[in-house]
Amino acid sequence: MFRFFENLVDPFAPFDEKTPPKALWPYLRSQYGPFRKLMIWMALTGVLVAMVETGLIFYTGRVIDLMNASEAQTFWSAHGFELLFAALFILFLRPLSIALNRLFLEQAFAGNMQAQVMWRSHKHLLGQSLGFFQSDFAGRLANRVMQLRVAVEDLTYMFFEGIWYALTYVAAALLILSQMDVRLAMPLAIWVVAYGLYVRSVARKVALASEKLSDTRSLVTGRIVDSYSNIESVKLFAHGGNEETYALSAIKRFRIRFLQFVRLMTKMSFGLNMLNGALIVGVLGMAVWLWTRGEVSVGQVAAASALTVRLNGMSGWIMWLTIRMFEQMGVIREGLQSVAVPHDVVDAPAAPALKVSDGRIEFRDVSHHYGRDSGGLDHVSLNIPPAQKVGLIGRSGAGKSSLVNLLLRFRDVEQGEILIDGQNVAHVTQDSLRGAIGMVTQDSSLLHRSVRDNILYGRPDASEDQMIAAAKRAEAHEFILDLSDPHGRTGYDAQVGERGVKLSGGQRQRIAIARVILKNAPVLVLDEATSALDSEVEAAIQQTLYGVMEGKTVIAIAHRLSTIAQMDRIIVLDQGRVVEDGPHEALLAKNGIYAGLWHRQSGGFLGLDT
């Protein structure tokens, strides 16, 4: 039975993957799409439950009147069948109606809505450019995704479980009191209007305070996670005190926002109790006055009293639910600041996959200044023939990383175009482009998964033998066999820790190299690929890399010039422009920038400030 209701909606079904709406209600409508039919059933069963509950109170008054009008000796014979039917209803039909409502609310809606919001938000964020993630805390982004899925589900659940139920209950109570005597319903009607206006005024303030509180909560999470993620640097530089201060300033801001929020809660409680007092006095006072005039029965007074006391108890709950709903609206608005951001690097409509035949790379008059007037690349034109090995050097900020990032389309060029085998990289799918390029960076971070998972990231369909062969070529197989983690997993099954922190820098680099070897892409980019290795291992890996380079188009960035001296061609960048281009010997003979760097380097290493 549970599985039937849980499968009424598929939260992972295909959907329109355009940028989520930035505004609250359009965003909610986009999430509610698959749940529309379900929400009708949630509403109908909510009405049923509210009618059953108010009817039960009304029938209690009837029982009192029946007892008042009957002799004890003849009570059961006169009304036994009716009371038996009422007992069966209370024992069986009432629980069934409530259970049906809960199945729709909890099994069909709650779990599926949380999963859908989380999945869609995460899927959209994964499509963002590298620059998007570089401009924000990973912790804050994750916090917003996790808060958003709870907020959307909570907001809707509370409406149907509380507000919708309460509206039906009040409507039924008004109907019952009107049938007794219309004057009994008047105090309740006045209270409903006053209560609604009061809740509306408080809720607006709460929504604003909640959005600010949620934003501050995300800031605290972002700063704390940033410290934990970089704990090695914190310890290395003995900056524990600075990190405490950094987090403390955000926590103090959170405390101020939270106190502002709870002040509203306290004010709300006082006003609510004043309104509830007026409700009790109004309805019960009117009921007792009408009874003294003989216009209502004792049972009707009892029913009116029970309805009023029940509403008195419900009013605080309804107010709390309403405030929580507006609070969640603030959380959603805050989350949409990240989730509803359009992708700045997107595939062209109906973009084909990149087809690499030779591996020729062309940069045609490429400029990219990151939206500024200078920096980055300035009118760079390069033609890299198929299978050519190119070394790329230049001082820090010369544009080396910009060139590679634009080739991988982590950003779109501001001017010019980049082509691989005659295909503009902006006109093919990003996945096919990056699938054709293998890259090893200076600081290759690993996923917090097993060694096997990290190597197979290069080619998930590779066999065990192929994976091990790649690890051996990367000089990684021997140390992998000696690995173990706190959970007893060993070798290729051992977990490497977040970003691979349980491994040394050289071990991480060798696993990253094994991953690229396994990928076997036709274009290879090496960004200081061996900088984290000791000399003995580096020599072995360099020979491996030379073997891996065979038949591939290669761009290798290095500060240690000896590692690229054997390249077919060396390109020197300075201030975003190509200033020298040629093989090692020709550039030395030219006696220009490259020759000067070569002669001044110490141990083959290019000083950044040279």
pLDDT in tens, 452-494: 999 999 999 999 999 999 999 988 999 999 999 888 899 999 9
**pLDDT at res. 555:** 94
User: pLDDT for 135-167, tens place per residue?
Assistant: 887 878 888 899 899 999 999 998 998 888 888
Per-residue pLDDT tens digits for 348-378: 999 999 999 999 999 999 999 887 877 789 9
Is residue 177 within 8 A of residue 304, CB to CB? The reply is yes
Give me the chain's average pLDDT, please. Answer: 86
Q: Are strands 553-557 and 361-368 parallel, antiparallel or unpaired?
A: unpaired
Q: Is the pLDDT of residue 562 over 60?
A: yes
What region, left, alpha or beta, does residue 389 occupy, with left being phi > 0 and alpha being psi -120 to 50 degrees?
beta
Confidence of residue 601 (pLDDT cuts 50, 70, 90): low
Q: Is 411:129 a contact under the CB 8 Å cutoff?
A: yes
Band of residue 229 on the pLDDT scale cut at 50, 70, 90: confident
Q: Is the pLDDT of residue 265 over 80?
A: no
d(CA 145, CA 332): 10
Confidence class for position 533, pLDDT limits 50, 70, 90: low
With contact defined as beta carbons under 8 Å apart, do 475 and 537 qualify?
A: yes
- Domains contained in the chain, CATH given: 10-339 (1.20.1560.10), 444-520 (3.40.50.300)
Measured CA to CA, the distance from residue 165 to residue 171 in angstroms comes to: 10
Q: With 50 as the cut, is the pLDDT of residue 610 above it?
A: no
Q: Is pLDDT above 50 for 605?
A: no
Confidence of residue 329 (pLDDT cuts 50, 70, 90): confident
Q: Match 């379900």 to its residue by tokens.
A: 38
pLDDT in tens, 331-343: 898 889 999 999 9
Tokens, residue 444: 């290759």
Q: What angle do CA 118, 119, 120 make, to 5 degrees?
A: 95
As a whole number of angstroms, the distance between CA 384 and CA 404 comes to 13
Comparing 83-87, 107-111, 361-365, 542-546, which segment has the lowest mean pLDDT?
Answer: 542-546
Strands 553-557 and 523-527: parallel
Q: Write down the pLDDT at residue 57.
A: 78
Please report the pLDDT score of residue 415 as a whole number: 93
Q: Residue 131: pLDDT band by 50, 70, 90 thresholds? A: confident
Which pLDDT score, from 0 to 100, does residue 387 have? 93
Highest mean pLDDT out of 225-229, 264-268, 316-320, 530-534: 225-229
Res 179 pLDDT > 60: yes
Residue 442 has pLDDT above 70, yes or no: yes
Task: Tell me the mean pLDDT in the region 200-226.
Answer: 81
| Confidence at residue 231, expressed as pLDDT on a 0 to 100 scale | 80
Binned at pLDDT 50, 70 and 90, residue 606 comes out as very low
Structure tokens at 355: 């087809």
Residue 263, CB-side half-sphere exposure with 13 Å CA sphere? 8
Q: Which pLDDT score, from 0 to 100, does residue 180 have?
A: 83
Structure tokens at 148: 């958003």
Give the model's pLDDT for residue 534: 66
- In this structure, how many other beta carbons lie within 10 angstroms of the beta carbon of residue 451? 29
Range from 279-288, 387-396, 520-529 carrying the lowest mean pLDDT: 279-288
Residue type, 143: N
Res 446 pLDDT > 90 = no
pLDDT at residue 536 above 70?
A: no
Q: Residue 109's pLDDT is what?
A: 94
How far apart are the C-alpha atoms of 605 and 562, rounded to whole Å?
8
Q: For 140-172, give the DSSP string.
A: HHHHHHHHHHHHHHHHHHHIIIIIHHHHHHHHH
3-state percent breakdown (helix, strand, coil) of the chain, nearest 5: 65, 10, 25
Residue that wins the pLDDT comparison between 440 and 559: 440
With CA atoms as reference, report the closest residue to 145 among 322, 324, 340, 12.
Answer: 340
The yes-or-no verdict on residue 602 having pLDDT over 80 is no
Cα–Cα distance measured from residue 164 to residue 161, given in angstroms and rounded to the nearest whole number? 7
Q: Give the span between the Cα atoms of 277 and 279, in whole angstroms.
A: 5
Alpha-carbon torsion angle 100, 105, 109, 113, nearest 10: -170
